Amino acid sequence: MNRRYFLGSILSAAAAPAAAFPFFTSRRPPAAVQRPRFLSFHHLHTDEAVTLAYRVGDAYQPAALQRLNYLFRDHRTGEVRTIDPRLFDLLYDLKVYLGDPDARFEIISAYRSPATNAQLRKTSSGVARNSLHLRGQAVDVRLPDLSTRRLCEAALELGRGGVGYYRRSDFVHLDTGEVRSWGIQALTKRAEADV
């Protein structure tokens, strides 16, 4: 073994950990950030039930979003529209805020075709002409093990998008539009009556 070979071996051995260092210190986000976000739904009109991870870390899962687009379709016409992924984020954050990781949202209404929205407007004063349901940005939901009153309060406390309280119909409207609320007077009156 000559001296040049010996020095080369020592330098290679010393450089090996340094070369491997970037592999071990990759810039991956912490494990908590990579955690999958699960949502669970039961559509009351179609009786379909779905539980899936719609997002992992910052990455939305295309196959899961396609399934949710179909689940959130206009159940009257069968029309499917791309649903705003921020709506799923809102629902996920709401169940986390409520401290119920296994919450299963019951869907009353999600995407509405223009024909369906026009028909509903003829029979109800509570349907907006330019409803965000038409854009795939709104959903009407409830949770079977939680009062719609508490669900509405939690959504208001989150302070994101639109929140509508429909006490008689027993659901809460949630959307990704501007922060606003309606039907809350009934919520306030009930709170005052409980005091």
pLDDT digits (tens, 9 = 90+) for 76-105: 999 999 999 999 999 999 999 999 999 999
> Using the 8-state DSSP alphabet, how is residue 161 labeled?
S
The answer to whether the pTM exceeds 0.85 is: no
Give residues with Cβ within 8 angstroms of 138, minimum separation 6: 87, 110, 131, 132, 162, 173, 174, 175, 176, 177
Q: How far apart are alpha carbons 27 and 59 in whole angstroms?
A: 16
CB atoms closer than 10 angstroms to residue 89: 17
The pLDDT assigned to 32 comes to: 54
How confident is the prediction along the chain (195 residues), in pLDDT tens digits per residue? 555 544 454 444 444 444 443 444 445 555 556 899 999 999 999 999 999 999 999 999 999 999 999 999 999 999 999 999 999 999 999 999 999 999 999 999 999 999 998 988 888 767 888 899 999 999 999 999 999 999 999 999 999 999 999 999 999 999 999 999 999 875 655 555 444
Domains of the chain, first to last: 36-194 (3.30.1380.10)
Give residues with Cβ within 8 angstroms of 69, minimum separation 6: 80, 81, 82, 83, 136
